[in-house]
Amino acid sequence: MKFRVGLAQIKPTLGNINENLKKHIDYIARAKEEDVDLLIFPELSLTGYHLKDLVTDVALDLDSKIIEELRSEARDLALIFGFVEESKHCCFYNSAIYIQNEEIKHIHRKVYLPTYGMFDELRYLARGDSIKAFDTDFGRMGLLICEDFWHPSAAYIAVQDRADYLINISCSPGRGISTGPKLSSAESWERLNRTYAQFFTVYIIYVNRVGYEDGVNFWGGSEIIEPSCKEMLKAEFFAEGLFIAEIDDSVIRRERMVSPMLRDENLNLTINELRRIQDERLRRKY
């Protein structure tokens, strides 16, 4: 199967859901004109990132009119976007939603909330507690959010749950200086994406935002990496835009025939050894 993926590398307006909604609708219209089958926005695309005390003001439940409007707008394509989700128990999550055929097919709540250096997510948001792959019209996918990808167990769980595509939506700020033309944060993400693609023989679809918030720059550089580790699509740095590529799932089959690591992975061994480690830590109380 072949399908067209659009990466909506946008610059959200901090705390302004209505303005960001208009931008989402505009990009959806542009994607339809380009026959895009799956359109993906970055992390917290409806709200902006540095929300802090604005979290409760911009939070949406799944029955909100804004979610309903985006479901209706996306009737001719599948859609992923990021938002602050308010649960029935008044918990607030950094969430990603997958909508297909106007139905919510999957919600992922960010599991690993960075609270170090310039990051302060855990102060304002609740942790997600689940990582699951899910079926779509285009194959089985895993959906993670930014920091989740820096914990290899998150990607491993999704792949062991039979995901053939790992999608990561991100708000990665520009950090560090390298000897080349790129920021060191961009180089780190590129290495990580290629490592996962090759180790797990999956497509990696990475969507990062652009723009400034509170003096912090977001660098973009969204990309799609094939299971062979080949770069299929690379978006511009620091620029908004809709970037499109056609994915062919036969590439997955070809690469897994050559590199059958997933076939040979011993999940029972991993589970047993992790239980042993957990038991030993509990006995030692550390």
Q: What is the pLDDT of residues 5-52, one digit of tens each?
A: 999 999 999 999 999 999 999 999 999 999 999 999 999 999 999 999
Q: Does residue 69 lie in a domain region? A: yes
pLDDT at 41: 99
Look at residue 179 and tell me whether its pLDDT is greater than 70. no
Q: Does residue 146 lie in a domain region? A: yes
Q: Does residue 209 lie in a domain region? A: yes
pTM of the model: 0.97
pLDDT at 140: 98
Say which range, 147-156, 176-185, 193-202, 218-227, has the weakest mean pLDDT: 176-185
Look at residue 84 and tell me whether its pLDDT is greater than 90. yes
Residue type, 274: L
Q: Does residue 19 lie in a domain region? A: yes
At 285, list the tokens: 């109380």
Number of domains the chain is built from: 1
pLDDT at 180: 59
SS3 letters for the chain? CEEEEEEEECCCCCCCHHHHHHHHHHHHHHHHHCCCCEEECCCCCCCCCCCHHHHHHHCECCCCHHHHHHHHHCCCCEEEEEEEEECCCCCEEEEEEEEECCEEEEEEECCCCCCCCCCCHHHCCCCCCCCCCEEECCEEEEEEEHHHHHCHHHHHHHHHCCCCEEEEEECCECCCECCCCCEHHHHHHHHHHHHHHHHHCCEEEEEECEEEECCEEEEECCEEECCCCCEEEECCECCCEEEEEEEECHHHHHHHHHCCHHHHCCHHHHHHHHHHHHHHHHHHCC
CATH code at position 61: 3.60.110.10
Q: Does residue 283 lie in a domain region? A: no
At 114, list the tokens: 């960075």
Give the list of residues 6+ apart from residue 195 with CB closer than 8 angstroms, or none.
none
pLDDT at 183: 85
pLDDT at 214: 87
Helices 65-73 and 17-33, packing angle to 10 deg: 10
Give 83's strand partners: 95
Q: Match 């749950």 to its residue by tokens.
A: 161
Q: Does residue 253 lie in a domain region? A: yes
Q: What is the pLDDT of residues 218-259, one digit of tens each?
A: 999 999 999 999 999 999 999 999 999 999 999 999 999 999
Question: 146, 139, 145: which is closest to 165 by C-alpha?
Answer: 139
For a pLDDT cut of 90, what percent of the chain falls above it? 93
Q: Does residue 268 lie in a domain region? A: no
Q: Which domain holds residue 72?
A: 2-260
pLDDT at 182: 76
Q: What is the pLDDT of residues 58-82, one digit of tens each?
A: 999 999 999 999 999 989 999 999 9
Q: Does residue 68 lie in a domain region? A: yes
pLDDT at 181: 66
Q: What is the pLDDT of residues 157-171, one digit of tens each?
A: 999 999 999 999 999
pLDDT at 175: 73
pLDDT at 286: 58
